[in-house]
Structure 1
Amino acid sequence: MGDTRISGEVIGIDLGTTFSCVAVARKGHGVEILANDQGNRTTPSYVAFSAATASSERFIGEAAKNQATLNPRRTIFDKQVTKAVVTVPAYFNDSQRQATKDAGTIAGLNVLRIINEPTAGALAYGVNQDPNTKRNILVYDLGGGTFDVSVLEIDSGIFQVLATGGDTHLGGGDFDQRVMDHFVQLIKKRYKKDVSKDPKALGKLRRGCERAKRVLSIQTETRVEIDSLMDGTDLSEPLTRAKFEDLNLDLFERTMRVVRSTLKDAKMEKREIDEIVLVGGSTRIPMVREMLKKEFDGKEPSKGINPDEAVAYGAAILGANLTTDQVGVVVGVILLDVTPLSLGVDVVGDLMSVVVPRNTPIPTKKTREYKTVKDQQSIIYFLVLQGERTLTKDCLQLGSFEITGIPPAPRGAVPVEVTFEIDADGILTVTAKEEATGNSQSLAIDKYKRNLSSREIERMIREAREMAEHDKKEKARVDARNQLERAIYDLKKAVSEKLHMCDGDKTVVEAALDEASDWFDGNKNACMQEYKDRRQKLKGLLKKLSPA
C-alpha cells in the first residue's frame, strides 16, 4: 500500500467551548503552541458583531470578549494554513462532527481529521513516554463547557481507546454559575438589589466569579470585587476555597460517577490505571485533583502536560503524522478511537439488531447477514438505529432505506448483507447488498438530521443500564410473539403441502390456524405467557400432520 499522507504543514485546533488553542509540529521545533495577535496562547471562543449596518464589523476572541478590534490572519510564520486536525468532545454525534468539518471548510480549511478531545490529550501525554512500555491511562478532560473521560492503552506507538464517557453539559461554566447564584442571593439579601434582572450587571458578576474561581486554584481565599455593579453599588465580598467546593460538590461527584462507569465499560480496575492525565483548564481546581487521588487510592494525577494546551498539542501530533513534510518531527503513532453508542438495524420484529457494538474501535467496517422473512418477498426495508436499548422504539432512528427487486423465493432463502462502515472521523455509511442480483443501497448518515443532543446520548446509556432487566423481559415477550407468528406461518405452509391429510383433519387444523391468526393480529401487546400458551396449543396440531 502506498503512502497516503499529504504534503504541507497541518495545524491542530482545539475548538473549545470557552477557549480555543492552535498548535503546529515543525521540523527543528517540535510542537509549538501558536500565540494569537495579542500574544496569548489561548483565544476566547467568542464572536461578536457590531450594529447591523453596511459597515458592521466582526470581532473574534479577546476582541469579541472585550469589544476591541481584531484582524485574524490564517498564517504561520508567513505560511498560509490550508490543512487542519480539529478536536471535538468525545460524545459529539455524527451531525455535530460533520458541522465542525463544514465550519472548517467555510473558514477556508481542509479538515483532514476530526479527533476526540481526550484522545488528543492522550497523544500529548503519550508521545513523550517510553514507546516500549505498555501503559493504561485515564484521561480526565474537564473544560469550560464539557466533560469527557477516556481510558486508553498505549503500546509501541499504538493508542487504542478502550472506552469513553462524558457529560457535555458540565464544565467550568457550571462552577461559575453556582458561584453566581450564591452571590445573586447574597446581593439580594445584603444590598437589596436583584442582579438577575439586569443583564449588564450579570455579565460583570459572571466575570468577577470566573476570576475568583481561578484565584482559588492557587489561594484559599479571595474577594469578589466589582465597581459599580448595579445602580452605583460596589460589590466587595469574600469567597473561600472551602465555600467554592461546597457550592459545587455535587458537580465534582458527578464527574467521579462518569469515571467509574467508563472504567467499567473498559473492563478495567482502578489499580490497572498507570497514569491519570488531566486535560482542560478546569482540572486546575484543587478539588478535582484531590477527588481523583482519593478515587485512585492515592495515585497522583500527572502534571507533565499543560491542561489548557494538551488537546491542541495532541491534534498537532496527529496532523504531523498525516503529512510527509513532518517525518521525524514526532514519533509515528497509530490511533484507534471508539464509537460512543451501538449501531444496528431493525429488519422485522421491533428489536434492535446490533451490528457495531458501543466502544468499537474506529475506523471500522462490520457486516451482518439478514434473510427474507416472507415467501416471495421482493422488498426488504431497513431502519438504521443507534442506542443501547433492546426495542426499536427506545433507540434513535438515524434513517431508513430499502432493497428492491429481490428474486421470488421461499422465506429465509435470500440473504442480504448489511455493512456498517465508520470512518476515522466517526461518520457512518450503511450499505445493504442482495447477493443474487447484486442490488445494493447505501445511506450516508451524516446527511440526515439526527436531532440527537449530547445530553440524549448520556441519557440513552444511563437508561440502558437502568432498564436492563425491563428490556430483558420485553425482549423475551417480543421473541415469544415472533415465535408464535413463525409457528402460524410454518403450520399454514405445512397444511398446504400435506397432500395425504384427510379433509376432516385439514378443516380442523385450518380453522384453528385462522383463529390463531385472528387472535395474533388483535393482540400484539399480549404477555409472554399468552404467546407461549398459544404456540404450545399449535404444537399439538403438528402431531395431526404427522403420519400415524
Structure 2
Amino acid sequence: MSKKVKGTAIGIDLGTTYSCAAIWLSRKKRVEIIPNEQGNRITPSCLAFNDSELLVGENAKNQIARNPANTVFDVKRLIGNRFSDPQVQNDMKMWPFKVMKGDSEKPSVVVEFKGEEKKFAPEELSAMVLKKMKETAELFLGKEVKNAVITVPAYFNNQQREETKEAGTRAGLNVLHLLNEPTAAAIAYGVDNLSDENWNKDKKTVLVFDLGGGTFDVSLLTISKKGVIEVKAVGGDTHLGGEDFDTSLINYCINEFKKKNTGVDIRGNPRALGRLKVACEKAKRDLSSTIFAPIEIDCLHEGIDFSTKISRAKFEELNATYFDKCIQLLEECLRDGNMKKKDVDEVVVVGGSSRIPKIQRMVEEFFDGKTLCRSLNGDKAVASGAAILAARLSGNDDDMKNDVVLLDVIPCSLGISVKVNGVSGNMDIIIPKNRSIPTSKKITLLVNQTRVDIIVYQGENAKVMDNILLGEFELTGLTLGPDRKSKIEVCFSLDTNGILLVSAEEISTRQRKSITITKI
C-alpha cells in the first residue's frame, strides 16, 4: 500500500465514456460524489477543440455533431497501446477524429485547435479529463486538491498504468495509488455492508462484475468481517464494453442506410458518424427500459433522412458475441481463483453497461438463479471505493466506521526472455497472473556463453513480441565450467506497492546485476 500523505485527497474513476470524482466527508461520515457545474455526478470523458478554447465534459459531448473531427472520446482505449495494435486500427475506422502513428509506435490524436494542427498523446488527453475532475472537486470543496487515487481496469498492463499515472501528474495531481476498478467497488461494498447485522459469516466471497463503457473486469475477492479485502483472481478485457455495443448498433444502421439508399456508404462522413453515434448510444440506454427504441436522424447524409426502429432482441443479437465473452471471462476468473459457483456468496454488478437486462439475466443464470447485488450505484461505486482509499492514505478517515485492509494480486504474468549472442527466445513465465503480492520466485538457468541479456516482460503469450517489455540488463564475463556452461540464478521479487526487483547472479562468482521496475 502506498505511503500516507497529508492534505485533501479525492478518488477519481477515469472512465472510457464517463468519469466521476468522489471524496470522503468526515463530518457526514460518508462518501460524497462530486457534482460538476451542470449538477451531474458523472462527466463525459470527452474533449472538443475549436478556434478559441478547449471544452471538456458535457460541453464537449454536446457539440460532437457540429465539430466531429475535433471531438475526441474513447481515449482510454488508446492509452498504453501501440498504433499498430489491431484493436486500435479497428477503432480508428469508427472514430470521426484522426489518429496517426507517433513516436515509439504510440498513437497520436490530430486535431485543429486555435487555427493550428495539434497532436496529442493519449496521456496528454487523459490529463485534460483528470484536470477537469480536479477543478470540479476544487470548486465543490472550495480549496485546492493535490492528491488522488485513480482507478484503472484490473487487466491494465504496466504500460497502461504508467501512462495513466503520468496523466495524473500532468493534471497536477499527486497520484497516491492506482486502484483496480473492481477492487474499488469491493471496498465500497465492504464499507457499506461490514456493519450489517445480516453479515453472518467471518468471511464472504464476493465476485465483482464490472462492465463499463470501454472495459470489462471481473474480480473474485474475500472480505472478512474485520475489513480485510483479499483479491483471489482478476480477469477481463481492456477492450470490451458499452462502446463496442454502440459500434455494433452503428454498423447495423450504416448497413440499413446503405440498403435503403442503393449502396450509399456514410463511413467517410465524420459528421454523419458523430450524429449516428449519439443516436445509437441513446437507443442503447433506452433499450434497458423499453422493448423498442427509434433511431431517427434528419439529413444524416447528403440531405437524406434516416429512420429505423431497434428491438431489444435485435440489440441482443447484434452483441451476442460480446455478451458471451463476458461470461467466458467470468468463468475463467473463477477457475483462476480455484473456486466454484457455489462458493460465491455475493455477486456485485457495477458499471453502466451492467444495466443491460440481457447481461443481468446471463449472470444470474450462470450463478443458477442467484440474486445479484445491485445496492451499489453502478456509475459511482468505483469512485466511491477510490475516495475511501484516498481518505485512508491521507489520514482523513478518523470517522470511518469500518477499517479496510487491501491484499491484491498481479493482473498479468511476469517473465523473462534470455538473449544469447543477440538472439532471444520465447518468454518464460516466472510469476503467473493472479499470484498474491508480495511474492518472490527463483529459477536457475544454464548458459553456454560468457554474456547473457535478461529481458523482463509482462503478458500471457509465448512470443515476446506479443508481450509488454518492462526492462532489461546484462551479465558479462561469465565463467564457463568444465561442461562449458555457466549457472545463473534469476530472482523475481514483487512487493505490495507493485515494485518488481529482478536480479541475476552467477552462482560460481557471485557476480550480480539487477533492475527495479515500478508500478507493475
TM-score (norm 1): 0.73
Note the C-alpha offset of 1:47. Answer: 1.6
Separation of aligned partners in 2, 1:268 and 1:255 = 18
**DSSP 3-state at the match of 1:383:** strand
Paired position in structure 1 for 2:165: 101
Q: 2:229 aligns with which of 159, 162, 178?
A: 159
User: Which amino acid is the alignment partner of residue 280 of structure 2?
Assistant: C
**DSSP 3-state at the match of 1:242:** helix
User: Which amino acid is the alignment partner of residue 97 of structure 1?
Assistant: R
Instruction: Decide which structure has the larger Cα Rg and report it.
Output: 1
**DSSP 3-state at the match of 2:267:** helix
Counterpart check, 1:6 vs 2:5:
yes
Note the C-alpha offset of 1:145. Answer: 1.0
- For each residue in 1:410-431, what CA deviation from the matched residue of structure 2 results, as whole angstroms up to 9, or x when unmatched? 6799876544343556453423
- For each residue in 1:181-204, what CA deviation from the matched residue of structure 2 results, as whole angstroms up to 9, or x when unmatched? 222222222355533332211211
Paired position in structure 2 for 1:65: 61
**DSSP 3-state at the match of 1:430:** strand
Paired position in structure 2 for 1:36: 36
Note the C-alpha offset of 1:327. Answer: 2.3
User: Which amino acid is the alignment partner of residue 150 of structure 1?
Assistant: S
Separation of aligned partners in 1, 2:394 and 2:45 = 28
User: Which amino acid is the alignment partner of residue 43 of structure 1?
Assistant: T
Paired position in structure 1 for 2:17: 18
**DSSP 3-state at the match of 1:194:** coil
Backbone CA RMSD of aligned residues: 3.2
Paired position in structure 2 for 1:360: 435
**DSSP 3-state at the match of 2:444:** strand
- For each residue in 1:480-519, what CA deviation from the matched residue of structure 2 results, as whole angstroms up to 9, or x when unmatched? xxxxxxxxxxxxxxxxxxxxxxxxxxxxxxxxxxxxxxxx
Separation of aligned partners in 2, 1:17 and 1:147 = 11
Paired position in structure 1 for 2:155: 91
- For each residue in 1:404-451, what CA deviation from the matched residue of structure 2 results, as whole angstroms up to 9, or x when unmatched? 46678767998765443435564534233568877543324469xx9x
Paired position in structure 1 for 2:248: 178
User: Which amino acid is the alignment partner of residue 9 of structure 2?
Assistant: V
Distance 1:22 1:190, change over 3 A: same
Distance 1:427 1:226, change over 3 A: farther
Q: 1:78 aligns with which of 129, 142, 153?
A: 142
Paired position in structure 1 for 2:502: 430
- Structure 2 unaligned blocks of 5 or more: 65-128, 196-200
Distance 1:199 1:413, change over 3 A: closer
Distance 1:47 1:424, change over 3 A: farther
User: Which amino acid is the alignment partner of residue 382 of structure 1?
Assistant: I
Separation of aligned partners in 2, 1:323 and 1:395 = 36
* 8 A Cα contact 2:158 2:458, kept in partner: no
- Structure 1 unaligned blocks of 5 or more: 451-548
* 8 A Cα contact 1:402 1:441, kept in partner: yes
**DSSP 3-state at the match of 1:236:** strand
TM-score (norm 2): 0.76
* 8 A Cα contact 2:447 2:486, kept in partner: no
* 8 A Cα contact 1:342 1:354, kept in partner: yes
- For each residue in 1:331-362, what CA deviation from the matched residue of structure 2 results, as whole angstroms up to 9, or x when unmatched? 22111221123223345895755432221123
Note the C-alpha offset of 1:215. Answer: 1.0
Note the C-alpha offset of 1:32. Answer: 0.8
User: Which amino acid is the alignment partner of residue 46 of structure 1?
Assistant: C
Distance 1:233 1:129, change over 3 A: same
The worse-fitting range, judged by mean Cα deviation, of 59-68 and 250-259 is: 59-68
Separation of aligned partners in 1, 2:49 and 2:370 = 47
Paired position in structure 1 for 2:214: 145
Greater strand share, structure number: 2
Separation of aligned partners in 2, 1:280 and 1:221 = 23
User: Counterparts of 1:211-360 in structure 2 under 5 Å?
Assistant: 211-346=282-417, 353-360=428-435
Distance 1:378 1:149, change over 3 A: same
User: Counterparts of 1:388-403 in structure 2 under 5 Å?
Assistant: 388=460, 398-403=470-475
Note the C-alpha offset of 1:128. Answer: 1.6
- For each residue in 1:249-293, what CA deviation from the matched residue of structure 2 results, as whole angstroms up to 9, or x when unmatched? 222111111111111111111111111111210011100111111
Paired position in structure 2 for 1:520: none
Paired position in structure 1 for 2:258: 188
User: Which amino acid is the alignment partner of residue 216 of structure 2?
Assistant: F
* 8 A Cα contact 1:23 1:312, kept in partner: yes
Separation of aligned partners in 2, 1:390 and 1:88 = 26
Separation of aligned partners in 1, 2:428 and 2:271 = 53
Q: 1:382 aligns with which of 447, 454, 457?
A: 454
Note the C-alpha offset of 1:33. Answer: 0.5
* 8 A Cα contact 1:23 1:313, kept in partner: yes
Paired position in structure 1 for 2:113: none
* 8 A Cα contact 1:122 1:314, kept in partner: yes
Counterpart check, 1:115 vs 2:179:
yes
Separation of aligned partners in 1, 2:9 and 2:267 = 45
**DSSP 3-state at the match of 1:127:** helix
Note the C-alpha offset of 1:211. Answer: 0.6
Paired position in structure 2 for 1:501: none
Separation of aligned partners in 1, 2:510 and 2:247 = 58
Note the C-alpha offset of 1:88. Answer: 0.9
User: Which amino acid is the alignment partner of residue 32 of structure 1?
Assistant: E
Paired position in structure 2 for 1:127: 191
Separation of aligned partners in 2, 1:143 and 1:159 = 22
